[in-house]
Chains A and B, each alone.
Chain A
Amino acid sequence: MSSSFIRPTRRNFLAGSAAIGAAGLLGIKPASAAVDWKRFAGTTLEVNLVKSPRSETILKYLSEFEALTGIKVNAEATPEQQQRQKTTIELSSGKPSFDVVHLSYHVQKRQFEKGGWLADISGFVKDPSLTDPSLVESDFAEAGMQFAKDSQGVLRSLPFSVDYWIVYWNKELFEKKGLSYPSTFDEMASAAEALTDKSSNTYGFVARGLKNANVPVWTTLLLGYGSTPLGPDGKLRTTSDEAVEAAKMYQRLMTKSAPVGVSGFNWAEAQSAFLQGKVGMWLDGVGFAPPIENPEKSRVVGKVGYGIMPKGPKAQAAATTGDGIGVTAASKNKEAAYLFCQWVISHDMGARLLQAGAGVPFRNSILEDAKVREGVTMPSTWVDAVAGSAKVSQLALPVIIPVTEFRDIYGVGLTNMIGGADPAAELKSATAQFEPVLARSEG
């Protein structure tokens, strides 16, 4: 008994969480909690979510929120692309069918701001009858607050889950070649080349090569060269020396060490290749530990290291994307919708997200909670990579309206580079195409 108390298993932890939840339902609340959760009992909320492990976690525990508040929730989760189309069309009509919307910051932030589609929730956060005292800005990772506030500094949503770009590396393949995890970009490229043996169908590196999906790979490298696609003045710097060098590094990794056909790979194809145990390193978002550690899907269970992005020539940076949850400006139930958002990013829900490997909460108090970390079902090196990435986090994509065009146009250039095209020429051509699109969007 005592040993299980000191080192709780996942089951014990969940049982404990359930007991705490039940106590909460029975009205046993901490003395400090002044939130009147029942204030909007009887209200019905419409919630629009992106189908993902994050939304699955929300849906799984939705009944807890309904019992806590007496609010009825009709939640709909649709695949990412369809959800983005649906929300944009409905929100631009001025009469969305939902009160709460789940948004991908790295794609939709600027679009939502310009459309004025999200309600100002800064007043709610200051209202003690609506907001738990533990919910303070300083608890969120800096990138989270950057995402959640608009250009005037008004809070428009609550940061939900963060995605850091990390390197998954096959320890077994590295050991066979006597290599260790690279600490710089050059070491990464050299290791990738050393691991590649086309005769045995083994490759050193894999990442997204497919148009659009491949752009964060390049921008991740670009951060290591100390630059970003858009300067502080809002001008593109995608033909700069740093941008070209990052593109050359992308080309080197993807042509010398990547599997055949990588120009058509999105994350799913890259994942399939890595799970077969024939790829040394895979650069992508942090959320792929569950399939890697699932023996039914993976041949590399227990053999994978989770590395923070190696240092580039000028900086070490973990490219960051994320999603948030907000209240629509057109909602007639803004306070009730805000309560839902608050519950979604609560300590308990964040802990569940992290422990299942379904996502990484933006809140430091969750990441640093030793009890939460003990309950994480993923390897400890994964949690270390998450925590380490948080310290060097930088936004992966520019905060602009035409993010999709940006990704499509530069993505075509990157795909062409895998086919052997000149990086400088491709970036020049892509910039010439994208400049008018950007000008139109901000005009």
Chain B
Amino acid sequence: MASVSMDTARSNSIANGRSKPGRLAPNYWPFVVPALLVIAAVIVFPWVFTLWMSVNSWTLGQPVVFAGLDNYTRLLVDMRFWESLWHTALYTLLAVVAPLILGTLAALIFDAQFPFRGLLRGVFVMPMMATPVAIALVWTMMFHPQLGVLNYLLSLVGIGPQEWIYNQNSVIPSLVLVETWQWTPLIMLIVLGGLAAVPREPYESAEIDGANAWQKFRYLTLPMIAPFLMIGVMIRSIDAVKSFDIIYAMTQGGPGTASETINIYLYNTAFSYYDIGYGSAMAVVFFIMIVALSFVLMMIRQRANWSDTETR
């Protein structure tokens, strides 16, 4: 019955020369409603509830009082919020650029033919499979100024002890080092996929024209793998901007607030200070920022695809 009515509906819409993708035959609704209920419960309700909390002053253990936009105006003058915003931007930028460069280089190396290539590729992608908190604990030990292996290695080449995550100036680069170590393999895998799809003919033509290795990379490889790089940038950006586990496990946003990103500040506000209303306002603003970032990146990716089409 269902297929007959569906077919009838489709043939009618075709006959009318227009489609109505939003309309379903009534007897299809029982199949759709469970999914809608789940989406409403796990996506829509939490967001509506967060929005509601963000316009209330609510500290756990105390009464809920309607506060209008007070929590949002408080954000505007909260220097710690702006500082965390800057930390998030810096952390994201470094945690995208470093794996992007190193991952692309690694992909170029692993694209070439050499003995044990498969084995080495396997070893290279291993960090990606490890649990972030476990990684954080291992790196925390490695970063220890007195007992850590990194300072020991530096001492072998005559460099004095560094403070790594224990110094306000070096904490973000040190955290990015861990992030880079873990996520460079992801970029490598994405770019390797791109390199596998690159045709050989343009390179042969370039070689006949006398192009050197850099020119071949700059004018052939890079434009052809650009869409893949954009996918890598998009995945890494969204991942880095909402990074929490490694930072929290290693520094909890310290020393001081030197590595406190919005995520960490949000978490502290909601679950250490129990200021649920203010934490929710921060979550709403943060969500809008992530959506905006995703939108911009998707636009850029679209442009990369167009230029790729034009190249062909």
- Residues of A that sit less than 8 Å from B by CB: 81, 85, 88-89, 91-92, 111, 114-115, 117, 201, 209-212, 259-265, 269, 272-273, 276, 278, 401-402, 404-405, 408, 411-412, 415-416, 418-419, 440-441
Contacts and interface: CB of A to CB of B under 8 A. Distances in A.
Contacts of A269: 144
B272 A408 contact: yes
Contacts of A261: 144-146, 163-164, 166-167
Nearest to B164: A261
B256 A211 contact: yes
Interface stretch (B29-37, B58-66, B108-116, B292-300): B58-66
Q: Which among B147, B165, B252, B253 has the greatest number of chain A C-beta atoms within 10 A?
A: B252
B144 to A, nearest CB: 7
A109 to B, nearest CB: 13
B254 interface: yes
B166 to A, nearest CB: 3
A264 B166 CA distance: 4
A264 B146 contact: no
B303 to A, nearest CB: 42
B271 interface: yes
A63 to B, nearest CB: 34
Contact of B61 (A85, A114, A201): A114
27 contacts: A85-B272, A88-B60, A89-B60, A114-B61, A115-B62, A211-B256, A260-B145, A260-B146, A260-B161, A260-B163, A261-B163, A261-B164, A261-B166, A264-B255, A265-B166, A272-B146, A273-B146, A278-B146, A404-B272, A404-B273, A408-B273, A412-B257, A415-B254, A415-B255, A415-B256, A419-B168, A419-B256
Contacts of A415: 168, 254-256
B61 A402 contact: no
A201 B151 CA distance: 13
Interface string B241-259: 0000000000111111100
A210 B161 CA distance: 19
B305 interface: no
Interface of B: 59-62, 144-147, 161, 163-168, 171, 251-257, 268, 271-274
Contacts of B59: 440-441
Contacts of B168: 263, 415-416, 419
Which 7 A-B residue pairings sit nearest by Cβ, starting from the closest?
A261-B166, A264-B166, A261-B145, A115-B61, A415-B256, A263-B255, A92-B60
Contacts of B274: 88, 92
Nearest to B250: A264
A315 B253 CA distance: 35
A47 B147 CA distance: 39
A111 B274 CA distance: 11
Do most interface residues of chain A lie in helix, strand or loop, or is the interface mixed? helix
A354 B61 CA distance: 35
B165 to A, nearest CB: 6
Contact of A92 (B61, B251, B253, B272): B61
Contact of A85 (B144, B161, B163, B271): B271
A412 B265 CA distance: 13
Given A211-B256, A278-B146, A111 B61 contact: yes
Contacts of A117: 61
B62 A114 contact: yes
A321 to B, nearest CB: 17
Contacts of A263: 166-168, 254-256
A405 B256 CA distance: 13
Contacts of B257: 211, 412
B166 A262 contact: yes
A111 B251 CA distance: 27
B254 A276 contact: no
A68 to B, nearest CB: 35
A117 B60 CA distance: 12
A273 B167 CA distance: 17
A404 B268 CA distance: 9
B60 to A, nearest CB: 4
B49 to A, nearest CB: 15
Contacts of A111: 61
Q: Which of B165, B171, B251, B256 has the most CB of A within 10 A?
A: B256
A91 B254 contact: no
A111 B62 CA distance: 9
Given A211-B254, A259-B145, A264-B163, 11 more contacts: A89-B60, A114-B62, A210-B252, A212-B252, A260-B161, A260-B163, A263-B256, A265-B166, A416-B256, A419-B256, A440-B59
A408 B253 CA distance: 11
B244 to A, nearest CB: 15
A212 B251 CA distance: 12
Nearest to B161: A260
Contacts of A278: 146
A264 B171 CA distance: 10
A102 to B, nearest CB: 18
A310 to B, nearest CB: 25
Contacts of B146: 201, 259-261, 272-273, 276, 278
B268 A210 contact: no
A415 B165 CA distance: 13
Among B144, B147, B252, B254, chain A packs the most CB atoms within 10 A around the CB of B254
